Amino acid sequence: MRADFEHRQAAHCESGVTSNLLSSISNHKITEPLALGIGAGLFFAYIPFIKINNGPAIAFRTLPGHIFRRTCKSLNIPVKRKTFSSKSEAESFLQDRLNQGQPVGCQVGVYYLSYFPKEYRFHFNAHNLVVYGKEEDNYLISDPIMETPTTLSSYELERVRFAKGALAPKGQIYYPESTAAITDEQIRQAIKNGIKKNAYNMLSILGWFVGVNGIAYTGKKIKGWRDKLGLKTAGSYLAQLVRMQEEIGTGGGGFRYMYGAFLQEAHAYHPNNDELLTIADQFTQAGDLWRTAAVHAAGIYKGRLGSQQDFNMMGDYLLEVAQIEKAAFEALKKMKWQA
């Protein structure tokens, strides 16, 4: 059994799964950047009292599942999402969907993905992929961060669907229930909704640890890590920031580049709003700074750098990023949409 599905490689798992699952009914118009932007996927949170892999929890994206859910909601597409307590029930439901020709998104754990290189396997349970068929005992897998489709045996897929720990997927399956064609007018309105939601999330959520305030707060805290934590632990914390930024879904620099691409594509649907192109350049600038900061942080972790001046410079990178992203989202928030 095999659903009618086209694998397309993407930069990030959930935005890639979203665009791939909506590809057919949108006539390939919902690209990965549009999925990220309409789904308001850009975010930042620094939560020091929650530890992941012995480092503070740092997020560069929204919670798992939000990009797909928000994108479909903005496009008025009903969504089916289901978790399971029974592994046999989960597999039965999956096979039933595939028998009906429905490719489905699955949230899975990374650690036991057999087609991942070993150096990329760690305990992270919010990866997303598409299952689009089965041949004998192998499920056909479209993992959007891989160049080509792959397979997982029934046992391997069950293992990653029911991975234990934080954000345990519990066999989660999701897919769009509608097959009605997505119109350009739906996309135009969804773009405005997505920008409004993302601006609110980055500017207006209360708390020192989220949005642009969270980026600035983290930059200030980094300057004190060397004295407070010691060089080894401070370097480990910076490694955690880089891991969350660049290895888990290109969350830092990559997401900023993609959001800039989203604004460029948004301009094609709103050609009278040239400010979208100017603001897109600001996100590219922010992406460059995130990448520069990641290289600098890696230098500290690996011992090439380590002075207080190096930590001050690292903090200043984030403070500058916060200023750029704040100005960009404030401009988007104030935008007067032209017909």
| Residues 290-314: tens digit of each pLDDT | 999 999 999 999 999 999 999 999 9
Encoded tokens for 270: 């709103």
Helices (H), the chain: 13-21, 32-38, 66-74, 87-99, 154-161, 184-203, 211-229, 231-242, 253-269, 275-301, 308-334
User: How far apart are the C-alpha atoms of 239 and 302, rounded to whole Å?
Assistant: 9
User: How far apart are the C-alpha atoms of 215 and 274, rounded to whole Å?
Assistant: 28
Encoded tokens for 90: 């989960």
Q: Where are the domains of the chain?
A: 1-11+83-173, 184-334
Residue found by looking up tokens 């300057």 in the block = 223
More confident residue, 50 or 267: 267
User: How far apart are the C-alpha atoms of 77 and 91, rounded to whole Å?
Assistant: 25
Among the listed residues 182, 195, 144, 174, the one whose alpha carbon sits nearest the alpha carbon of residue 28: 182
Share above pLDDT 90 across residues of the chain, in percent, rounded to a whole number: 78
| Residues 96-136: tens digit of each pLDDT | 999 999 999 999 999 999 998 887 777 788 899 999 999 99
pLDDT for 151: 97
pLDDT for 243: 79
Give the list of residues 6+ apart from residue 286 with CB closer than 8 angstroms, or none.
256, 321, 324, 325, 328
Examine the pLDDT at 240 and tell me if it is beyond 90: no
Give the list of residues 6+ apart from residue 54 with CB closer than 8 angstroms, or none.
236, 240
| Residues 58-106: tens digit of each pLDDT | 888 888 889 999 999 999 999 999 999 999 999 999 999 999 999 999 9
Encoded tokens for 303: 């011992």
Q: Are 41 and 63 in contact (CB under 8 A)?
A: no
Examine the pLDDT at 248 and tell me if it is beyond 80: no
Per-residue pLDDT averaged across 264-292, rounded? 96
C-alpha count within 13 angstroms, C-beta hemisphere, residue 102 = 18
Per-residue pLDDT averaged across 322-338, rounded? 95
pLDDT for 244: 78
